Amino acid sequence: MNFDVVTLGEAMVRLWVGNGERIETAPALRVSVGGSEANVAIALARTGRKVSWMSRLPDSYLGKRIANEVRMHGVDLSAVSWSSDGRAGLYFVELSGYPREISVLYDRQNSAASQMSISNSNFECLSDCKVFHLSGITPALSSTTKELCREAIKIAKSQKLLVTFDVNYRSALWSVADARNEISYLASMASLVVCTSKDAIELFGFREDEENLAEKLSTQFSNPNVIVTHGSSGVSWNLGGHRGSSPAQPTETVDRLGAGDSFMAGVLLGLLDGNIIGGINRGQAMAVLKRGIFGDQLLSSESEVSNLVNGNIVEIRR
């Protein structure tokens, strides 16, 4: 099957309470599924793109719950392997309003996805696709996933695929030193890199107000194509030496988790269409829409995204 995009990474079961509730006193927890690369795959599949997700899941109720939720949005799971002795990763979320921060607690040690390796992964989906997408979360899961990420990129490049990399630094998974080294290597192998200004500060010591941050990261990664997201300050980029920026779009947030993945999906759409700047604009619109939806996935229609990109905002549709 010909795929537009193949992603590689872990998805987990999300257990959460809404804004204003605390897990320690909540009478019930809501259940959904999330994971950076799976979120990207879902957002792309919902636009009609052909997408495959590489991962490993436990052969259990929770593993099947994850698979069913990713599959229902149109994502191909033929590259998912199944483990008889692993477990599904969990994460617990307390949503909140300013100034209380959102709280996320992960319980993912020894998950089936952390057991992914070169020997138990199916690379056939890379033989006939256009773009391979990876984030900095997957190589941090274990030594075998680190090796897997390097091998997957090697195969993708041998197939002349475009490779996109989202830095997605997670301090709970590895040290700054280890992350800096591996992320710099993977970013240098990519066709396009996306990084938050927060990650640039934590990993490489840049300042938030650093001028030309995207250009400086291009030098850091030895990669001419870097996009930097600055939260409420918008987006900046250095694409083949051409610098630019775009302001943030206003939004009211109910759940910010997954917004970065929605932005990444928009960028990928632009890459597939040969219009990266258009993809950045689309990604900003998709991230804004995601912030207004509970859960990690962008569950929006093409018309909703297009309307926002074109400035056609409808507050009430009857």
Active site residues: 261
Angle 176-189/213-221 helices, nearest 10 degrees? Answer: 90
Which of 231, 299, 227, 295 minimizes the C-alpha distance to 267? Answer: 227
Identify the DSSP state of 250.
P
Which of 45, 113, 33 minimizes the C-alpha distance to 75? Answer: 45
Q: Give the whole-angstrom CA distance, residue 298 versus residue 27.
A: 27
Q: Give the whole-angstrom CA distance, residue 306 versus residue 245.
A: 20
| Residue 316 phi, psi dihedral angles, 5° rounding | -130, 125
Q: Which amino acid is at 9?
A: G
DSSP count for the chain of H helices, then E strands: 9, 13
The tokens of 87 are what? Answer: 């477990």
CA distances from 120 to 55, 116, 146, 236 (A): 10, 6, 14, 39
**Count of CB atoms within 10 A of residue 110's CB?**
11
The tokens of 209 are what? Answer: 């107000």
